[in-house]
Amino acid sequence: MKLKMIQTTKNTEDRLASGPAKLFETDTIGYEGPQIVLFPEITFQTIEGFGGAFTEAASTTLDQLDLAARHNILKLYFDPIEGIGYSLCRTHIQSCDFSLGNYCYIEEDDEALDTFSLERDHKSLLPMIQDAQKVGEFRLLASPWSPPAFMKDNGEMNHGGKLLPQYRELWASLIERYIEAYQALGVPIWAITVQNEPKAVQRWDSCIFTAEEERDFIKQHLGEKMRRHDVGIFVWDHNKERLYERADVIFRDKEASAYVAGAAFHWYSGDHFEQLELLQHQYPDKKLLFSEGCYEYSLGKGLTWEIGERYGHDIIGNINHGCCAFTDWNMLLDHNGGPNHVGNFCDAPIMANTATGEITLHNSYYYIGHFSKYVRPGAKRIGMSRWSDCIEASALCNPDGSLVLVVLNRSEQSYDFSIRLGDQLCETTSAPRSIATYLIND
C-alpha cells in the first residue's frame, strides 16, 4: 500500500503541498509506539459534501473583477483537480444579511404570488451559481432568512418577528415557487432549511420560530410541497448548543419527522460536539449538516493562522460526532468584509480588493480544502484511534476504496507517529501548526 501526504503548515510555503509517496511496511515486531490506527471495516455516516455559500455579497464582489479573476476564483473553489472541489453549497431564499438590501420575490401584499419574479437573483447571484456549474458538480442547499414583511407580525423583514399564522400556507407556496423556478433554470435545489437561525432576533433579515411552530409548519404546510419536488428538509439551522432539544421536538412527531432529512447547525456558540452525538444516538436515520460558520472581520487587526485551525478543528469534531456535510459561509467578500446591508462584516476564505483586483487566499481556504478536495461525496467515516489528544484526526473511506486520514496539529511541537492499517505501518511526522491529509490506496 502507498501513502501520500498533502500538507499546509504555518511559517512555510506549504499550502496543500504534496510530498513524495511512501510505502507501508509489515509490522514484524508488534510496534506499540505513537500511532493512529485505522479500522476501515467499521463504518459510520456517509458524507454528503463540503463547500461554501453563494450570497449576493459574494456574487457582486465577483462581478467587480475582470473575467480572468472571475474564472480563477470559480476554478479555485469548484475544479476538483486545480481547485478544492466544492461539492455541496448553500444559498439564500430572498435576501439575507449578506445581500445589498432587503428584497422579496413578490411585491407587498401579493397573496396570489402573481408578481413572483427572480429578477433580483438574475442580476448577480444566479449567474455566479450557473458559472460555477460549468466548472464543477455540486448540490445546493437553500435557506430563507425572512418571509416578506407583510407576512410577519412586526411588518418588516429585519428584527425578528414571527410568521403570521394566516400566511403559513402562502409562505410555503412561495418557497415551492422558488424551488420550481430554480429547477426550470437548471439549478436544482437539493435541500432547504426551514429558517436560518430561528432563535435569533437580528438587526438584519430574521424570523423567529419555536420548535413547535417549525414542526407544525413542516407537517401542515411545507413538507408535502418539498416531497413532491424531492427536496430534503433540514430543521434548526442555528447553533449547536440547542441542537438536540430543538430537533427532538420535531423528530418525535412522526408526521413531521417523515418529511425531515435531518438537522442543520452553526458553530457560533462553541464546539458542543456532544450535541451531534446525542442526536444521532436517538435518531440514527437523520443527517447532521453544518450549514454555516465564519469569522467576523476586524479591519486593522489582521488575520491569524488560528482562523484556519478553527475550521480544521470544527470539521474534524463535527465529522467524528456524526456530521455528514460542511458548508462555509460567504465564498468571496471584498477587502472590507462585505458588501453587507447592516455592517456585520466578515472574513471569507477568498477576499478581493475590488479597487485593485487583487485576490487574497486566506488559510481557511486551504484548511477546508484538506477535506473538500480529497473526501468525496459518498465517502464513509471509518473507525480510528489515536495515541494522544496532542493531535486531532478523522478517517474516511472514499467511494473508490481509497482511505483518507486528516491530521490537525495546533501545537508548536512536531510529532513522529505511525499510521497502522492491519499489520501494515507507515511512519510520518506531524509538523507544528499544520494540517495534513494522508491518502492511502493500493
Q: Catalytic amino acids?
A: 197, 292
| Bond from prior residue into 339 cis (ω within 30 degrees of 0) | yes
Amino acid at 215: R
- Which of 128, 18, 141 lies closest to 78 in space, CA to CA? 128
* Number of DSSP helices (H) and strands (E) in the chain, helices first: 12, 22
Give the span between the Cα atoms of 180 and 265, in whole angstroms.
26
DSSP string, 320-380: HTTEEEEEEEESEEETTS---SS---B--SEEE-TTT--EEE-HHHHHHHHHHTTS-TT-E
Tally Cβ neighbours within 10 Å of residue 46.
15
Tally Cβ neighbours within 10 Å of residue 14.
17
Residues, the chain: 442
The neighbouring-strand residues paired with 236 are: 264
